[in-house]
């Protein structure tokens, strides 16, 4: 299965609501690698890598977020894959 990598940006009420830890947990359960971080504009951003199916499932979780979050939009774009990356972490 070919690996894909996407960069993502989640907008809305997504900081201070455990969005990053939620994202980490989902990524690990799906088997996606990458990272997530809070951005200065109030969004949550990151990169994720895995199979097309795994990434599709991961992005669906980004649209929902944890119960305290209120997601207004998710942007994603394909980027080049990184080799040797292990796990998914918060920056």
- Enzyme catalytic residues: 20, 38
Question: How would you label 43-69 residue by residue, b for 16+ Cβ within 10 Å and e otherwise?
Answer: bbbbbbbbeeebbebbbebbeebbeeb
Q: Which residues pair with 12 in a beta bridge?
A: 71
CA angle 48, 52, 34 (to 5 degrees): 10
């Amino acid at each position: 299965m070919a690996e894909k990598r996407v960069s993502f940006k989640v907008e809305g009420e997504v900081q201070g609501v455990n969005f990053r830890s939620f994202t980490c947990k989902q990524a690990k359960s799906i088997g996606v690698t990458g990272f997530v971080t809070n951005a200065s504009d109030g969004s949550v951003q990151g990169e994720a890598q895995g199979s097309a199916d795994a990434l599709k499932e991961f992005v669906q979780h980004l649209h929902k977020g944890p119960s305290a979050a209120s997601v207004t939009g998710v942007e994603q774009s394909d980027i080049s894959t990184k080799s040797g990356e292990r796990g998914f972490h918060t920056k």
